[in-house]
């Protein structure tokens, strides 16, 4: 009997399409007569549009339309339709709604022409007169306008202030993290196909085709007339969680002209919507002189827009990761004249755990305890925020196996005590943690007359491997070879799926796929039992093995029937299911964990930092595909290195505008920045988290990495840099 | 696709021929059209990607006369009679180019958007013959950004495919100009 594909390191099923250039992304669906839109963005950060002179642009032959708030099609005038599945509290931004300018880079016009270059050129001819108003974009300068974030933080436990005042060791430290932009390689784009009858079929770059569909239906009052497709998404990392403005503008132009329109953003325009917000974080740590935690307080202040409150889980981790009797958490927001921040890979955890794990390293030195031993000393068996046990938590194994792989025991504890020539060597470590979420999801499974199993759900594959792992789960459930299973996604007409985010897709959609296939197994058994003289009469599903394209009586393997034969006799079989998270989850806390070990080389004279080695040990339950999951973790580590050393979107506060809005000056890691990255998955059995026992790996890879790099830099240099990114000027 | 006869204020298109993926193509091209937009918008060869349009990301890397270039940084009309190979032209018949196959085997991508550029760049880099070590490959592939962060797998794929790519007759045999083109070094046996 062939092995189940679940757990095997299989190649991506969409790999051949991607390496041959056949995978098509949102801006790559052609149509005769397609029009091209080019977005004009505001040059001021706050104020009003006084006048728009589009005459020069309109006079360019080939220009079909200059769309502005003055001539756009009608749109909803209340907030609800704009509140997509990832909206925060407040009034979502409405593209081309009125004359108000809320942030620099806000779209103010769309020039539509019959080719791309003309549209862009004509865009440069649109003259816009503004009435500017004073703006505020500097978080640190506006701390006095902070307000409490509307989130359910765990209530304070114990008396942190008292415990801090009595602690043998007390640290009060402040960390800061900058604005970062997602910058997926594929810029956001929408191709709106205008169909006869006025319906819209849209290829969009998104992590949620149904989210975009519902949004457009509401905004334009077009219920049932919109289909959104995204078979391939060229990276997103959160940038595709909310419908972005190019989608609205392209739809507006298509509706107005009754023509098909494409709007692709320029790289510079990828800096004109959501981003990871800048943060200022203050931690106080109290411990006894052995390093045992007595008190933790963590206050985060983040930026948001003037129209929405963006919140993320930033400080909760400090209450759950370590055993500590006295904890107080606080989270505040400062509204600025900027666009609303947006979930970006491990939102909240990436920056909150960075601060916590740097503070833990500082405590290790203050208490003269090895940083790894300090974590073990304060290990928490329960989630004290929720006062619940974990459904599984193999973090201890992550520490142990990661340390062994890295060679941590050979570390000499003193800063500046390891070197190779001019290079100061530093070894640092940190813990990572992320939620193991599950959302309601649906899937459909159909076994057809051609012997192929088609499984579908309106989820996305943003590079995460969704196509592949869902195919594995389905193939495993019905005992079919991978090449007889076709998984379909990225189409709003498919079964309902949640946003592809939060590391919840395998848990949510995977569970639905598994149960749809389980339903199909029952149907196939029922069908067999309808056949005359069935050897399967009276058999129950538990008595049956599905393998190698056949159904077999486990107790008598001579009794076997090919699934194709059942379909031939009984016709196509189809099952659609909706799966809710299991009730038993309520009794447990569910999370993924990691231990990250980093080696840096810091040039003593130049201050340049290279991460030469990384080990990431992950506890994420059952891993469906170690190849694609390992790649996810590697990507997360690369993101963590970028966060630690490179990434920062810099704002000119006089203009209220981002300055380095391109890939030349917004630095993301390149191949030469990345050394060896060793990923290991520790065994972690979990019957509670979901039926697959699988927790998801999209976020956990990045969490803790920036802290481990910062801690390694301290070990190498003796310099504690508390603001990211740690660029060489901060080390000289 | 752009209609090349569209009214553009009296500016005429230029006629040109180019050897594209082994096939001679006669084209009418506006003088301002980049090689990248020609491929993507006029010829529907969307395997060549646009990530920045400024030569900063490498997603549009193609092989021009065997040499890797950013298609966004050059105008189409500058390449009369050139030999151009895009990702669509790397595979022969049904078989993937060894570099393409290695990218699949080593899972050297996630979202796939930078992948055609990475592969063309890797094939061009092998032909240049300067990368002899892992660090040299990393350095010489650093013009191709991968936001998914698949760099270690990209390195592994290139290392695996290098010998076969070096020996390969095909894209360079047909694409190499006779003598002295700076992008095409001697192919090692």
**What CATH number does the domain located at A15-21+439-580 have?**
3.30.365.10
Tell whether the model's pLDDT for residue A81 goes beyond 90. Answer: yes
Q: Which residue of B has its CA nearest to A270?
A: B52
- Integer Cα distance of A624 and A703 in angstroms: 21
Distance of CA A397 to CAs A382, A465, A594, A620, B108, Å?
16, 26, 9, 12, 28
Tell me the sheet residues that pair with B20.
B23, B84
- Phi and psi at A691, nearest 5°, equal -70, -25
- Phi and psi at A261, nearest 5°, equal -140, 140
Cα three-residue angle A288-A290-A295, rounded to 5 degrees: 35
* The predicted structure's pLDDT at residue B177: 38
Average pLDDT, integer, range A274-292: 98
Largest CA distance in chain B: 54
Enter the tokens of residue A538: 């009276």
Q: Are A148 and A316 in contact (CB under 8 A)?
A: no
B115-125 confidence digits (pLDDT tens): 999 999 999 99
| Ranges for all domains in chain A classified under CATH 3.30.365.10 | 15-21+439-580, 338-434+587-730
B12 confidence band (pLDDT: 50, 70, 90): confident
Tell whether the model's pLDDT for residue B4 goes beyond 60. Answer: no
Segment 11-30 of chain A within 8 Å of chain B by CB:
11-12, 14-25, 27-28, 30
Q: Taking CB atoms and an 8 Å limit, are A61 and B146 in contact across chains?
A: no
Q: Taking CB atoms and an 8 Å limit, are B112 and A34 in contact across chains?
A: no
Nearest to B145 among A185, A264, A266 (CB): A185
Residue A725, classified by CB atoms within 10 Å of its CB into exposed (0-12), middle (13-18) or buried (19+), is: buried
Those residues with Cβ within 8 angstroms of residue A246's Cβ, 6 or more apart along the chain or in another chain: A37, A39, A188, A189, A190, A263, A264, A265, A269
Segment 236-255 of chain A within 8 Å of chain B by CB:
236-237
Tell whether the model's pLDDT for residue A491 goes beyond 80. Answer: yes
CA–CA min distance B59, chain A (Å)? 8
A582-615 confidence digits (pLDDT tens): 999 999 999 999 999 999 999 999 999 999 999 9
Query: Which residue among A217, A500, A648, A699 is the active-site one?
Result: A699
The SS3 call for residue A24 is coil
Tell whether the model's pLDDT for residue B187 goes beyond 80. Answer: no
Report whether CATH 3.30.365.10 matches the domain A338-434+587-730.
yes
A534 confidence band (pLDDT: 50, 70, 90): confident
Nearest to B46 among A24, A672, A674 (CB): A24
Average pLDDT, integer, range A487-515: 97
% chain B with pLDDT above 70: 84
Average pLDDT, integer, range B3-31: 82
Q: Are A243 and A87 in contact (CB under 8 A)?
A: no
Q: How many CB atoms lie within 10 A of CB B167?
A: 11
B7 interaction partners in chain A (CB closer than 8 Å): 61-62
Torsion-angle region of B144 (φ positive above 0: left; ψ -120 to 50: alpha; else: beta): beta
- Integer Cα distance of A663 and B56 in angstroms: 6
A663 contacts chain B (CB < 8 A): yes
Nearest to A20 among B37, B51, B100 (CB): B100
B74-92 confidence digits (pLDDT tens): 999 999 999 999 999 999 8
* Structure letter (DSSP) for residue A154: P
A677 interaction partners in chain B (CB closer than 8 Å): 152
CA–CA min distance A263, chain B (Å)? 13
Catalytic (active site) residue A699: yes
Cα three-residue angle A432-A437-A440, rounded to 5 degrees: 165
Q: Are A81 and A218 in contact (CB under 8 A)?
A: yes
Tell me the sheet residues that pair with B68.
B63
Strand order in the sheet with B67-70: B23-29, B14-20, B83-85, B61-64, B67-70
Mean pLDDT of chain A: 97
Q: Which residue of A has its CA nearest to B89?
A: A20
* The predicted structure's pLDDT at residue A36: 98
Tell whether the model's pLDDT for residue B172 goes beyond 90. Answer: no
Tell whether the model's pLDDT for residue B93 goes beyond 90. Answer: no
**What CATH number does the domain located at B14-89 have?**
3.10.20.30
* Structure letter (DSSP) for residue B145: -
Q: Which residue of A has its CA nearest to B43?
A: A30
**Alpha helix stretches (DSSP H) within A95-208:** 116-123, 160-166
B98-175, what's its fold? DNA polymerase; domain 1 (1.10.150)
Mutation site, A10, A20, A626, interface B, largest B CB count within 10 A: A20
For residue A378, give the nearest of A485, A480, A513, A286 by alpha carbon. A286
* The predicted structure's pLDDT at residue B94: 78
Mutation site, B10, B33, B34, B111, interface A, largest A CB count within 10 A: B111
Cis peptide, bond prior to residue A725, ω within 30 of zero: yes
Tell whether the model's pLDDT for residue B171 goes beyond 50. Answer: no
Tell whether the model's pLDDT for residue B189 goes beyond 60. Answer: no
Tell whether the model's pLDDT for residue B181 goes beyond 70. Answer: no
Homologous superfamily of A31-134+185-236+240-271 in CATH?
A: Aldehyde oxidase/xanthine dehydrogenase, a/b hammerhead (3.90.1170.50)
For residue B187, give the nearest of B158, B167, B170, B162 by alpha carbon. B167
Q: Taking the complete model, does pTM exceed 0.80, yes or no?
A: yes
| Ranges for all domains in chain B classified under CATH 1.10.150.120 | 98-175
For residue A124, give the nearest of A137, A135, A111 by alpha carbon. A111
Enter the tokens of residue A234: 């060229």
* The predicted structure's pLDDT at residue B7: 53
- Integer Cα distance of A549 and A638 in angstroms: 40
Tell whether the model's pLDDT for residue A662 goes beyond 90. Answer: yes
Residue A396, classified by CB atoms within 10 Å of its CB into exposed (0-12), middle (13-18) or buried (19+), is: middle
- Integer Cα distance of A332 and B132 in angstroms: 52
| Ranges for all domains in chain B classified under CATH 3.10.20.30 | 14-89
Q: Taking CB atoms and an 8 Å limit, are B109 and A30 in contact across chains?
A: no
- Integer Cα distance of A372 and A403 in angstroms: 8
A231 contacts chain B (CB < 8 A): no
Mutation site, B34, B147, B160, interface A, largest A CB count within 10 A: B147
The three-state (H, E, C) secondary structure of A590-618, written as one string:
CEEEEEEEEEEEEECCCCCEEEEEEEEEE
* The predicted structure's pLDDT at residue A535: 86
Tell whether the model's pLDDT for residue A543 goes beyond 50. Answer: yes
Q: Are A230 and A490 in contact (CB under 8 A)?
A: yes
E strands, B48-137, are 61-64, 67-70, 83-85
Q: Taking CB atoms and an 8 Å limit, are A114 and B155 in contact across chains?
A: no
Q: Taking CB atoms and an 8 Å limit, are B149 and A22 in contact across chains?
A: no
Q: Are A700 and A346 in contact (CB under 8 A)?
A: yes
Q: Taking CB atoms and an 8 Å limit, are A671 and B40 in contact across chains?
A: no
How many beta-carbon contacts under 8 Å exist across A and B? 200
For residue A697, give the nearest of A385, A469, A356 by alpha carbon. A469
Cα three-residue angle B110-B156-A711, rounded to 5 degrees: 75
Q: Are A675 and A598 in contact (CB under 8 A)?
A: no
Nearest to A266 among B7, B53, B90 (CB): B53
Q: Taking CB atoms and an 8 Å limit, are B141 and A232 in contact across chains?
A: no
For residue A324, give the nearest of A356, A347, A355, A352 by alpha carbon. A356
A161-207 confidence digits (pLDDT tens): 999 999 999 999 999 999 999 999 999 999 999 999 999 999 999 99
E strands, B30-146, are 61-64, 67-70, 83-85
A217-272 confidence digits (pLDDT tens): 999 999 999 999 999 999 999 999 999 999 999 999 999 999 999 999 999 999 99
A267 contacts chain B (CB < 8 A): yes
% chain A with pLDDT above 70: 100
For chain A, the straight-line distance linking the first and the last C-alpha, in angstroms and rounded, comes to: 62
Q: Which residue of B has its CA nearest to A17?
A: B112
Q: Taking CB atoms and an 8 Å limit, are A11 and B138 in contact across chains?
A: no
- Integer Cα distance of B40 and A667 in angstroms: 27
A372-411 confidence digits (pLDDT tens): 999 999 999 999 999 999 999 999 999 999 999 999 999 9
- Integer Cα distance of A48 and A69 in angstroms: 12
Tell whether the model's pLDDT for residue A498 goes beyond 90. Answer: yes
For chain B, the straight-line distance linking the first and the last C-alpha, in angstroms and rounded, comes to: 43
- Integer Cα distance of A374 and A364 in angstroms: 6
């Amino acid at each position: 009997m062939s092995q189940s594909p679940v757990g095997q390191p299989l190649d991506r099923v969409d790999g051949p399409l991607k390496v041959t250039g056949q995978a098509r992304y949102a801006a790559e669906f052609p149509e005769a007569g397609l029009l091209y839109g080019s977005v004009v963005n505001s040059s001021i950060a706050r104020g009003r549009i006084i006048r728009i002179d589009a005459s020069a642009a309109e006079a360019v032959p080939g220009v079909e339309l200059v769309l502005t708030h003055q001539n756009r099609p009608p749109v909803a005038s209340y907030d609800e339709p704009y509140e997509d599945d990832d909206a925060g509290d407040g009034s979502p931004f409405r593209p081309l709604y009125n004359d108000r300018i809320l942030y620099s880079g806000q779209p103010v016009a769309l020039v539509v022409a019959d080719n791309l270059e003309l549209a862009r050129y004509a865009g440069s001819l649109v003259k816009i007169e503004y009435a500017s108003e004073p703006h505020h974009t500097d978080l640190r300068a506006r701390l006095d306008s902070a307000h409490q974030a509307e989130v359910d933080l765990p209530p304070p436990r114990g008396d942190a202030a008292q415990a801090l005042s009595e602690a043998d060791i007390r640290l009060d430290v402040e960390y800061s993290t900058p604005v970062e932009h997602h910058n997926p390689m594929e810029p956001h784009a929408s191709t709106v196909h205008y169909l006869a009858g006025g319906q819209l079929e849209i290829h969009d770059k998104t992590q949620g085709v149904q989210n975009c569909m519902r949004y457009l239906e509401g905004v334009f009052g077009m219920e049932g007339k919109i289909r959104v497709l995204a078979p391939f998404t060229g990276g997103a990392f959160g940038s595709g969680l909310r419908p972005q403005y190019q989608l609205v503008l392209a739809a507006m132009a298509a509706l107005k002209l009754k023509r098909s329109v494409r709007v692709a953003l320029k790289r510079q325009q990828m800096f004109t919507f959501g981003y990871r917000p800048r943060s200022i974080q203050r931690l106080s740590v109290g411990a006894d002189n052995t390093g045992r935690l007595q008190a933790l307080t963590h206050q985060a202040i983040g930026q948001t827009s003037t129209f929405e409150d963006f919140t993320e889980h930033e400080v909760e981790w400090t209450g759950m990761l370590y055993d500590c009797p006295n904890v107080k958490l606080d989270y505040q927001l400062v509204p600025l004249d900027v666009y609303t921040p947006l979930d970006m890979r491990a939102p909240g955890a990436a920056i909150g755990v960075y601060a916590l794990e740097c503070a833990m390293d500082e405590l290790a030195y203050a208490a003269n305890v090895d940083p790894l031993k300090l974590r073990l000393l304060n290990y928490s068996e329960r989630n004290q925020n929720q006062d619940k046990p974990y459904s599984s938590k193999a973090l201890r194994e992550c520490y142990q196996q990661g340390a062994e792989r890295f060679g941590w025991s050979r570390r000499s504890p003193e800063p500046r005590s390891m070197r190779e020539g001019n290079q100061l060597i530093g070894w640092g470590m940190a813990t990572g943690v992320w939620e193991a979420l599950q959302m309601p999801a649906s899937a459909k499974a159909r076994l057809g007359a051609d012997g192929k199993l088609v499984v579908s759900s309106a989820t996305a594959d943003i590079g995460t491997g969704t196509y592949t792992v869902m195919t594995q789960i389905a193939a495993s459930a019905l005992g079919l070879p991978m090449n007889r299973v076709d998984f379909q996604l990225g189409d709003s007409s498919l079964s309902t799926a949640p946003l592809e985010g939060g590391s919840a897709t395998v848990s949510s959609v995977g569970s639905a796929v598994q149960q749809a296939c389980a339903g199909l197994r029952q149907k196939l058994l029922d069908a067999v039992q309808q056949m005359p003289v069935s050897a399967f009469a009276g058999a129950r599903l538990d008595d049956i093995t599905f393998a190698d394209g056949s159904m077999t009586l486990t107790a008598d393997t001579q009794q076997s029937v090919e699934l194709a034969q059942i379909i031939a006799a009984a016709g196509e079989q189809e099952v659609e299911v909706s799966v809710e998270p299991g009730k038993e989850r309520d009794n447990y806390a569910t999370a993924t964990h990691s231990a990250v070990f980093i080696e840096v080389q810091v040039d003593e004279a130049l201050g340049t930092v290279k991460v030469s080695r990384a080990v990431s040990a992950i506890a994420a339950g059952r891993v469906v595909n170690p190849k694609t999951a390992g790649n996810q973790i590697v990507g997360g580590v690369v993101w963590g290195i970028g966060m630690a050393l490179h990434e920062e979107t810099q704002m000119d506060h006089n203009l209220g505008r981002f300055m380095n809005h391109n890939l030349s000056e917004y630095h993301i890691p390149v191949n030469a920045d990345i050394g060896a990255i060793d990923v290991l998955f520790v065994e972690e059995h979990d019957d509670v988290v979901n039926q697959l026992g699988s927790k998801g790996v999209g976020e956990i890879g990045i969490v803790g990495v920036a802290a481990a790099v910062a801690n390694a830099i301290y070990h190498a240099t003796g310099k504690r840099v508390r603001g990211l990114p740690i660029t060489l000027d901060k080390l000289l | 696709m752009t209609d090349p006869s569209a009214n553009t204020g009296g500016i005429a298109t230029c006629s040109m021929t180019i050897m594209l993926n082994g096939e001679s193509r006669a084209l009418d091209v506006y003088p301002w059209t980049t090689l990248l937009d020609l491929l993507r918008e006029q010829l529907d060869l969307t395997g060549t990607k646009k990530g920045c349009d400024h030569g900063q990301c490498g997603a549009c890397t193609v092989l021009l006369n065997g040499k890797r270039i950013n298609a966004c940084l050059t105008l189409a009309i500058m390449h009369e009679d050139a030999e151009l190979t895009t990702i669509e032209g790397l595979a022969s018949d049904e078989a993937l180019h060894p570099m393409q196959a290695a990218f699949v085997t080593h899972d050297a991508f996630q979202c796939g958007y930078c992948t055609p550029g990475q592969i063309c760049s890797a094939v061009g880099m092998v032909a240049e013959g300067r990368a002899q070590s892992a660090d040299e490959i990393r350095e010489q592939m650093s013009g191709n950004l991968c936001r998914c962060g698949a760099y270690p797998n990209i390195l592994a794929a290139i290392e695996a495919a290098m010998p076969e790519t070096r020996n390969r007759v095909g894209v360079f045999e047909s694409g190499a100009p006779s003598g002295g083109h700076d992008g095409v070094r001697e192919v090692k046996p």
